[in-house]
Structure 1
Amino acid sequence: MAEPYFLLLLAFPPLVLLVFLYFIVRPHPVKIPIKKRHVFITGGSSGIGLALAHRAAAEGARVSFMARSESKLEEARNSIKMATGVEVAAFAADVRDYEAVKKAVDEAGPIDVLLLNHGVFVALELEKQELSDNWFQFL
């Protein structure tokens, strides 16, 4: 008869510990204000990068973004200007070209928030790629 109570007493401390740990380590959303900060986005002329640029501009950040296509950059820049009324800086550069990226970053000025959203795709089988073609050389 005492056996079920004994099992309950054994299970109680670990359950209390789990509940206690849940309240200590559970994720808490963090809102970092970006108003008046400089946000630099690579791959910002379309897709997720453009959406991030819209959001940052709407929240009052100074936005710079970079992509390869000058025409897409200009379209993106105009869409942000029309949607938010904020001027953004656009830089045409390929992330694989160190000098072009360095020039864009130097022109943009000090960066507070860096969003790396670019994608580099080389359409070859891994065994046939040279080391210089691999994306992981940039890490």
Structure 2
Amino acid sequence: MNTQTPAAVHVDRLMTMRFLPMLFSHDYVRAEHNVFLYASRFLTSYDGCEWSFVALENGGGFMQPGGDKWHFSNPDNGAEVSLSAEAAGIVITSMVLNHRSWFYDRHDEPELCEHYCERFRQLTGFISAHPEYSAIYRALN
């Protein structure tokens, strides 16, 4: 079992145009919109902000909201956790990847479904060694 955390690198301005299609495939416009919708639903006091992109060494990545700390609240699972901006971005991106994979599984688009499943697996591999993994898993479960 690999216990080493994959490297996370903030994407520079030259790579931002390639990041969203890499993360979300040709569905990137809808998926990015989902990220913003999920943030407004689950991040207390979110009203828009600049997001940065983080690429993982294992080929995955996530979007990260600006700011330092965010309060995540999910009445569906009772989660109330304080997260760093990085952890908040991981949680929101994970939720979107999961949602989009189910959507495409049910709409007979196996290539997109598999793409989202792979990105979700890559991100959960990163979560397992993250310093805030307990809070991240609490938010996601």
| Both proteins in one fold, TM over 0.5 | no
* Normalised-by-shorter TM-score class: under 0.3
TM-score, scaled to structure 1: 0.25
TM-score, scaled to structure 2: 0.25
